Amino acid sequence: MDNILYPNHRYKQVSKRRSRKNFRPMFSRSRRQKWINTLLILGIVSVACYLVVFFIYHGMVKPTLFVDNVKIYFQEKLDIDQRDILMAAGLNENVRFIDVDEEAVAQAVVKSFPYVEEVAVNKIFPGTVAVKIFGRKPLCISLFDTGTVSVPFAIDSGGCVFELGTGVKEFDLPVLTGVELSSWEMKAQIPAAYMPVLEDLANLKDRNPDIYSRISEIAVDEKGGKGYDLYVYFRTYDLPIQMGSRMPAEEIEAAVQILDLLQSTGAFESYQKLDFRSSKPILKRR
């Protein structure tokens, strides 16, 4: 029922309630805008503080820091004087920490010592440099014919010569014969054609170190420019294994089982070699 005294009273009340509803989204947007502005200000302040600290550190503090400690770690036992490493790396107390180039230091040490395979260098704030040295590991040895004497040299799994003559420390390793070096010097590489032999030998060493340790010689038998065969000799057997240009670990293991059987029956004297070049192993009689 309409109010006679105030005929428009209902309309005004409704209109007022509607007005409040219409303003609520505006208030909400205002609060969100305040939060966004606050976050933007905090972000700008944070970036400004970071830039100030960054420029102060790199422009004023860092250039005044010098190398005060060098830590050298040998992953393998190597006969290297630490003072020689420091000299090769160019690290001393007069070097600024900021000027130390990790990659350049690592390369300098590797180039200076043939028996070092890899070097990892890390800078530790404020003035420490850590140098980790990984030595080369001999996989086999070979002989270089000088014309008057045969000089031994050690080869790692990458085909690199890193020990020569009296420097060869391990002689209880397989001897690779029939391979000629183009030059007789440290870090000389064996010809790429023989790298598969080293790959297979390294695989055998990881897979079956017992059989690897029993190999006395791997002889490369060239076939007049048409590849080569391999003859594998063992310390414990009188019968060699003839293989193609590869010596898979599985075939070496199978050959050892056959040789064990022949040795147990005493039948070695009847045979000349065990041929593994075909799909089935063949015993060649004398």
Specify the DSSP element, H or E, that contains 256: helix 249-265
Taking only the tens place, the pLDDT of each residue in 203-262 is 999 999 999 999 999 999 998 878 999 999 999 998 999 999 999 999 999 999 999 999
Pair of tokens at residue 247: 């010596």
Distance from C-alpha of 161 to C-alpha of 202, rounded to nearest angstrom: 16
Q: Residue 125 pLDDT more than 90?
A: no
pLDDT tens profile 53-112: 666 666 555 666 889 999 999 998 888 999 999 999 999 888 998 889 999 999 999 999
Q: Quick one: which H or E segment has residue 258?
A: helix 249-265
Q: What is the pLDDT of residue 266?
A: 80
Residue 111: name the closest of 90, 140, 92, 97 by CA.
90
CATH of 138-285, one of 3.10.580.10, 3.40.630.30, 3.30.70.20, 3.40.50.10960: 3.40.50.10960
To the question of domain 65-135 being in CATH 3.10.20.310, the answer is: yes
pTM: 0.73
SS3 state of residue 254: helix
Q: Which string of DSSP letters, residue by residue, matches 73-107?
A: EESS-----HHHHHHHHT--TTSBGGG--HHHHHH
> Domain ranges in the chain?
9-60, 65-135, 138-285
The confidence score (pLDDT) of residue 56 equals 62
pLDDT in tens, 163-211: 999 889 888 999 999 998 877 788 999 999 999 999 999 999 999 999 9
List, for residues 11-58, the tens digit of each pLDDT value.
Answer: 455 445 555 555 555 556 677 777 787 888 888 888 878 777 666 666
Question: How high is the pLDDT of residue 209?
Answer: 97
User: What 3-state DSSP class applies to 148?
Assistant: coil
**Identity of residue 144:** F
* pLDDT at 143 > cutoff 70: yes
Q: What single string gives the DSSP state of each residue in 6-41?
A: -TTHHHHHHHHHHHHHHHHHHHHHHHHHHHHHHHHH
Taking alpha carbons only, the member of 51, 88, 61, 94 closest to residue 72 is: 88
**Residue 93 pLDDT:** 83
DSSP 167: G
Stronger pLDDT, 124 or 39, i.e. the higher one? 124
Burial of 136 (0-12, 13-18, 19+ CB in 10 A): buried
